[in-house]
Amino acid sequence: KAGVTQTPRYLIKTRGQQVTLSCSPISGHRSVSWYQQTPGQGLQFLFEYFSETQRNKGNFPGRFSGRQFSNSRSEMNVSTLELGDSALYLCASRPVLGDAGELFFGEGSRLTVL
């Protein structure tokens, strides 16, 4: 069974631009979560989607948004990029909501904002 796939793996943007990151969960997994990882703040929860609905949201500004499609694939978008948005963005999937069991992570998308 294929793992969680994130694209692109690396990207460089400049301040003010926007970026869209994509995540394909493990087949059969309906929940997708996004995390931002930086050296200073560690792993910060962005949001979680289940059945195309946002179920949980972290403490990030409205510039960070996401969505989930009917095939459970998810995208996140960051608009008006700032230098501080440089980070590794990790997507994780799990079969269902409910008991928060194991998360399956992708390899991440490393965003550099210049």
Partner 1 sequence: SQQGEEDPQALSIQEGENATMNCSYKTSINNLQWYRQNSGRGLVHLILIRSNEREKHSGRLRVTLDTSKKSSSLLITASRAADTASYFCATDILGGSEKLVFGKGTKLTVNP
Choices 22-30, 60-68, 77-85, 97-105; region in contact with partner 1 by CB under 8 A = 97-105
Eight-class DSSP state of 80: S
Helices and strands, number each (H, E), in the chain: 0, 11
* Least distance in angstroms from the C-beta of 76 to partner 1: 15
Residue 81 makes contact with partner 1 by CB under 8 A: no
Residue 43 makes contact with partner 1 by CB under 8 A: yes
Q: Which residues contact 75 (CB under 8 A, 6 or more apart)?
A: 20, 21, 22, 23, 66, 67, 69
Residues that bind partner 1 (CB under 8 A): 4, 33, 35, 42-43, 45, 48, 55-56, 58, 88, 90, 92, 97-108, 110
